[in-house]
Chains A and B, each alone.
Chain A
Amino acid sequence: MTATEVPVPTSPAGNPIGFGRMLRKEDARFLRGQGHYIDDVQLPGMLHAAILRSSYAHARITGIDTSAAEAHPKVKAVITGATLEGLNLAWMPTLSGDVQSVLATDKVRFQGQEVAFVIAEDEYSARDALELIEVDYEPLPAVVDARKALEPDAPVIRDDLEGRTDNRIYDWEAGDKAACDEVFAGAEVVVAEDMLYPRVHPAPMETCGSVAHMDKVTGKLTVWTTTQAPHAHRTLYAIVAGLPEHKIQIISPDIGGGFGNKVGIYPGYVCAVVGSIVTGAPVKWIEDRSENLMSTSFARDYHMHGEIASTREGKILGLRVDVLADHGAFNGVAQPTKYPAGFFHIFTGSYDYPAAHCHVRAVYTNKAPGGVAYACSFRITEAVYLVERMVNCLADELGMDPAELRMKNLLRPEQFPYTTPTGWEYDSGNYPAALEEAMRIAGYEELRREQAERRADPAGKPLMGIGISFFTEGVGAGPRKHMDILGLGMADGCELRVHPTGKAQLRLSVQTQGQGHETTFAQIVSHELGIPPEDIEVIHGDTDNTPFGLGTYGSRSTPVSGAAAAVAAQRVREKARIIAATALECSPDDLEWELGRWQVKGDPEQGKTIPEIAFASHGNLELPEGVEGHLDASVVYNPPNLTYPFGAYICVVDVDPETGEVKVRRFIAVDDCGPRINPMIVEGQIHGGLADGIGMALMEAIAFDPEGNNLGGSFMDYLLPTSLECPSYELGMTVTPSPHHPIGAKGVGESATVGSPPAVVNAVLDALEIRQADMPFTPAVVWRAMQGRPLRTDLAIE
């Protein structure tokens, strides 16, 4: 079903009452340069900090001399690992049950690791003082290639952990191995392929930073910080630093992009807190671009071996996967506790087959920690890449059109809710309709005809490639009984207050980093209460002023907090019904809801609007027994399941066979995220995700040299796409509501980032008429792939 937007009444300001396109409420301040980011925070007497970082990937620290730095006239304090050891803060827990060094004590384990923290009167002096610190290093051999991490002679990176004799973090499996092996043993066709999803970085426009202020008089710690999860951070500070939680306030002001980069707690944040305690003054720490790229949460770094089994006719029978996961020096992955490989075991994708098994082995290397970031939906990015590449490999093996093979195997609408072989329950979907719509927009048959003509004419250059990907996302973590982070369940609180004049405030636990929450959530309430979105203020990003919840990542805001907001508004509406009935001296059952107003059935002249009801609820109206005054609601929403948005993407590329340059000619994206609350915001998120995907497919990667030096530590080396690399996107949509979400909405923030890389890669490989090469497809990588001499894209090239 192709859906069109349903017109709704408009407010006095011209905004839709409920769902529809409207300009973002937050844009008024952003477009005027009036946003308020961490670095805009200025406090009286505030000091500035800088971090000394390791130049080695792996080295033993034999001495640190800070005396010259401390003698600098503007330096207030120099904190080292030894200082922190005295406070029992030299190590902190990670989100995956490991520990991470705050400031190195024994060894440095990746280039860019935090070694010392200097606090000075200004940022220039702090930076100057870094050069006055002398660290004696005894270099150690580094583990750079994840594939060699478990070799017997590999140096043990985590000798800080009791009894640790190798670099293995975990082995983890999902699916029925025996049943899967049996299917493979009997299959007519089995195709195997190795592929790397290289280490990439979310690279938000605003780097990470923090201003910590410990008020010695009140004992209250206030931290302005770049966090996607303010409440989780508050609890973690309480746990890490042993501070009383009710005396901690986390403020996350405007955030300049997160993409998962701002989920965890970084050493710099902890040091700023310690620095404020030590100096008695507010301490600001803002990392620079290289620090952000080299030390904060990376993404991917999955070495995958896939095998797909099918009949000769192209009926897929099974998929099995072996993954080597490079987690860097500390297991700092942010994901629900039960899932060490995130949601990777959703790798069976959008297709109907019974057999699946995966084994994930994670290892330590001398690289920065992280692993779940860059809009990846807890590793669904890697899973979708794997299955969409494997399906293309199978199509190649069978000599079948990849669209036809997909159509033959996609789950059918009547199979939903569908339980996958690895245990996920997809809530709803009409997959063939989405693929048909994408093929219609693309003019798929005509494109294939054009490609055939080009291939028939050897002088016809450039080479033309068409790539498809079909993805199923799983977003909105998640049900409490299955999902927690460090024991904190993933339900979200929400509070809605309607003031006497009918204007409302909505308090959320999630925190926008550019997703437009102040608009989208106002529209959700507007949809339920019929009051204009401009009359609803969204309050977020301040733990003292919002209810508890786990934050914004994994596309969870609309599926979880959006549901919470809808339920809160529905509760307010039901309470309004009782108050209206009291005012109208009738039974609540005699009333019917007409957008923004409860009215008497059969006598619509008799009714009360929400503002009238709000005033009455705060006034002198005698309310029935058991009904309290005011018009408020408070909700904790525990999602019964994830939501499962999906989409069909088609990419058309032209490749210069002489230079290897790839030009993305067209990109068609059909997304189904259920009803679209603000289609403009949804489209904006899709545009951004498609740019991400083109970037990852064509240019983004952090590679390392044999000594473990990071080769992606600046925007000269770590390339992000510009408008010149991105075509004018062609978007389409289908609408399949989620059956369990109160307004049917599914998350969409990461869909395009998850779905687009395999479409671009499949297109490039189609142009080259080869089966496999690894991202990113820089001109050099393409040219070498054409020659059958592929380059390692994770390590320095020869």
Chain B
Amino acid sequence: MQTPATFHYERAGSVEEAISLLERHGPETRLLAGGHSLLPMMKIRLASPGTLVDINGLAELDYIRLEGDEIAIGALTRHTGVLDSAVLAEHYRIFAEAERVIADPLVRNRGTVGGSLCQADPAEDLSAVFSALRADLVVASASGRRSVPVREFHLGPYETVVGENEILIEARVPVRPGAGSAYEKVERRAGDWAVAATGAFVQLRDGLAVDVGIGLSAVGADHHSCAEAEEQLRGRELTPDAIAAAAATCRDRCHPTADQRGPVDYKRHLVEVLVTRALTRALERARGEEA
């Protein structure tokens, strides 16, 4: 039997109430969203929060919608909602491709976008997706709302800028007309965390890449990305050689660690292979070459 330590339970009826509950119960309080990381950690007592504030009732945070030139994704949107979203499918294929290889249907039915980002597991997939797309994340507190670029959101493994009395409520992704995107992941088995994963988008104008985004997961990349590689490609024609050079940059600039999923040399090699594949497929989609 796996049994968590004793904890206090509260259920929030609104974002405001959730924030006041966080304030009232202090720093040993954790938000409970999908619970697919937190609850197992509690059961094996890697986490023993004093209070859980359950935000699963906050339907107001479960949405994906187009707002002007941005797509807004509520923090309580379940993975399965991202996987099935017509809006995201129209603009960014990367979402469905990433979601299809996140855990399994049971986890996807319950796990949330906000929970994934705030858990900040270094091998988490959506962090790489949002980082590739340079999303903004909206954080709420009693004093109002602030917007944080995703590449400034993570402070390190399992650590974000979200304060003790704050809640991540939304991700905002800029719409980039004509952009193609793709996600690539190698895992030891379906549902496993990534050995390495990469996401990419390419936006073309007159055959040149006016914008490029590269996201990386599980390989210790700064901000889940590689700004140098993006810079190498921006404004250029994405020839196979140019893509290969950018992929090599990603390979050299990441900081993977050895574990049961593989040694460092293999993970660097994978970064090169997967960045090449993701960029190539994103490019084909931007060109309308791939259905």
Contacts and interface: CB of A to CB of B under 8 A. Distances in A.
**Main SS of the interface on chain A?**
loop
B3 A123 contact: yes
Interface string B173-190: 000000000000010111
Interface string A701-718: 001000000010010110
A131 B193 CA distance: 30
Nearest to A659: B186
Interface string A114-132: 0000000001100110010
Contacts of A39: 1
A778 B262 contact: yes
A277 interface: no
A58 to B, nearest CB: 22
Contact of B190 (A131, A703, A714, A722): A722
A37 B249 CA distance: 55
Interface stretch (A161-169, A284-292, A598-606): A284-292
Given A722-B190, A779-B186, A659 B273 contact: yes
Which size bracket describes the interface of A in this complex?
A: 35 or more
Contacts of A699: 188-189
Contacts of A724: 189-190
A289 B43 CA distance: 11
A123 B4 CA distance: 10
A797 B193 contact: no
Contacts of A127: 1, 3, 5, 45
Interface in B1-20: 1-6
B89 interface: no
A288 B1 contact: yes
Nearest to B195: A779
Contact of A780 (B45, B190, B262): B262
Interface string B193-216: 101000000000000000000000
A719 interface: yes
A719 B195 CA distance: 14
B263 interface: yes
Interface in A369-400: none
B190 A725 contact: yes
Nearest to B266: A780
B192 interface: yes
A318 to B, nearest CB: 38
B188 A778 contact: yes
Contacts of A711: 260
A461 to B, nearest CB: 12
B141 to A, nearest CB: 33
B129 interface: no
Contacts of B288: none
B217 to A, nearest CB: 15
A701 to B, nearest CB: 9
B261 interface: yes
A716 B193 contact: yes
B69 to A, nearest CB: 36
B3 A124 contact: yes
Contacts of B104: 722
A39 B2 CA distance: 13
B48 to A, nearest CB: 10
B2 to A, nearest CB: 5
B42 to A, nearest CB: 12
Interface string A32-60: 00000001000000001010000000000
Interface in B140-199: 186, 188-193, 195
Contacts of A725: 189-190
Contact of A719 (B1, B3, B188, B262): B188
A722 B191 contact: yes
A123 B260 contact: no
B219 to A, nearest CB: 13
B190 A791 contact: no
Interface centre among B191, B266, B269 (most CB of A within 10 A): B266
A128 B195 CA distance: 35
A124 B6 contact: yes
A791 B45 CA distance: 33
B270 interface: yes
Interface in B259-291: 259-264, 266, 269-270, 273-274
B258 interface: yes
Contact of A128 (B6, B186, B258, B269): B6
Contacts of B1: 39, 48, 50, 123, 127, 286, 288
Contacts of B4: 124
Given A716-B193, A725-B189, A725-B190, A779 B262 contact: yes
B270 A659 contact: yes
A50 B3 CA distance: 10
A783 B264 CA distance: 12
A530 to B, nearest CB: 47
A306 B269 CA distance: 34
A711 B259 CA distance: 10
A724 B270 CA distance: 22
A123 B2 CA distance: 9
Contact of B192 (A290, A719, A783): A719
Contacts of B273: 658-659
A648 B280 CA distance: 43
Given A124-B3, A290-B44, A784-B266, A779 B188 contact: yes
Nearest to A661: B186
A721 interface: yes
Given A289-B2, A703-B260, A783 B266 contact: yes
Contact of A722 (B189, B193, B261, B269): B189
Contacts of B274: 659
B18 to A, nearest CB: 27
Interface in A271-312: 286, 288-290
A703 B259 CA distance: 11
Contacts of B191: 722
A151 interface: no
B227 to A, nearest CB: 25
A48 B5 CA distance: 16
B43 to A, nearest CB: 8
B262 A288 contact: no
Contacts of A716: 192-193
Contact of A721 (B189, B262, B269, B270): B189
A797 B256 CA distance: 14
A798 interface: yes
Contact of B263 (A123, A698, A721, A784): A784
A779 B260 CA distance: 11
Contacts of A796: 260
Contacts of A123: 1, 3
A286 B262 CA distance: 34
A703 B270 CA distance: 23
A722 B103 CA distance: 12
Nearest to B191: A722
Nearest to B192: A719
Interface in A743-798: 778-780, 783-784, 791, 796-798
A266 to B, nearest CB: 16
Nearest to A39: B1
A286 B4 CA distance: 15
A630 B79 CA distance: 65
Given A724-B190, A797-B260, 10 more contacts: A124-B5, A128-B5, A128-B6, A698-B189, A716-B193, A719-B192, A722-B189, A725-B189, A779-B186, A780-B262
5 contacts: A127-B3, A658-B273, A661-B186, A703-B260, A779-B262
Counting from the closest, the 6 A-B pairs by CB-CB distance are A780-B262, A724-B190, A780-B266, A127-B3, A288-B2, A658-B273
Interface of A: 39, 48, 50, 123-124, 127-128, 131, 286, 288-290, 658-661, 698-699, 703, 711, 714, 716-717, 719, 721-722, 724-725, 778-780, 783-784, 791, 796-798
